[in-house]
Amino acid sequence: YGKNTIKFLRLHREGKKHFVKEVEVCAHLRLTSPQEYLEGNNSLVIPTDTIKNIVLVLAKKNGIPSLEQFAIDICNHFMTTFCQVAYVKTYVQEVPWQRLHEDGVPHIHSFICVPDGIRFCEAEQCRNGPLIVFAGIKDLKLMKTTQSGFEGFYKNEHTTLPERHDRILCGELFCKWSYGECKDFDFDCIWKKIRECILEAFSGPPDCGEYSPSYQKTVNCIQMLVLSRVSQVQVIEVVLNNTFYNVVDMKNLGLTNDKEVLVPVEAPYGSCACTLGRK
């Protein structure tokens, strides 16, 4: 049991310059006894309102140095403070605020919310067990307008999809990875590096791109690049929810439409998922 959707903004000031972290936290506990379920005995139950207040107090006292460290702090607090807690799991996601720049100069206290992917993390721990940390990015919308196709696929009497050697590749990406033993990791730096790997593997070189024969291959290329460059990542999961575009037939309007006007196919949409780990 626990408390979901604990939303708050943590404001940090350094002189005139302000820093913000707006997050949403879910904190769940499992107790050593199920007596509140079986007997209606609430003597060990930590009220969910108390859980919420603890999260807010930790944000006040410790700040949010990184999402992962804040999740670790929450796990550590419940494990060290309450002997009846057998397991704790914390999920934290961030609102993507970025500092405003005016003529290249960073503003000291103004920010803009940029929808270029939502950062999140999870930390979980069993009593007398290791602390496990996951991190990820979701709702990252990506598109490339060429260098993508889908050919040579299995066909039978139900197949109506034509082969394509030049199509738009577009999708909403979810990516989640697990760390090994968490030492003194720079979680912010690692997250940014993985995001850069995702963008590079999806798009290819900036002057020419790289051909993708399928959404599945693109998913694997992202995973392989991350595992090759980021040694701290042990297992990586990628889900790519596909958005398809159809070329509008403009013959009746007396126009030739060479893939210049397209409409998205809202539903149903495809999805490709894969989890890849080191040996």
Q: Which residues are part of a known binding site for urate?
A: 48-49, 150, 167, 216, 242
Structure tokens at 179: 């760390």
Query: Judging by beta carbons within 10 Å of its beta carbon (0-12, 13-18, 19+), is residue 88 exposed, middle or buried?
Result: buried
Residue stretches of the annotated binding site for O2: 48, 242
DSSP tag of 250: -
Q: What radius of gyration do the chain's Cα atoms show?
A: 23
Q: Indicate the annotated binding residues for 5-hydroxyisourate.
A: 48-49, 150, 167, 216, 242
Separation in Å, CA 112 to CA 100, 136, 171, 264: 6, 22, 24, 28
Token pair belonging to 198:
């995702």
CA angle (191 as vertex; 185, 194 as ends), nearest 5? 115
- For residue 86, what are the contacts with CB-CB under 8 A and spacing of at least 6? 30, 31, 32, 126, 127
**Buried b vs exposed e over 213-242: b needs ≥16 C-beta within 10 Å?**
ebbeebbbbbbebbbeebebbebbbbbbbe
| Residues present in the chain in total | 279
Q: For residues 98 and 115, is the Cβ–Cβ distance under 8 A?
A: no
Phi, psi (deg, nearest 5) at residue 206 = -65, -25
Binding-site residues: 48-49, 150, 167, 216, 242
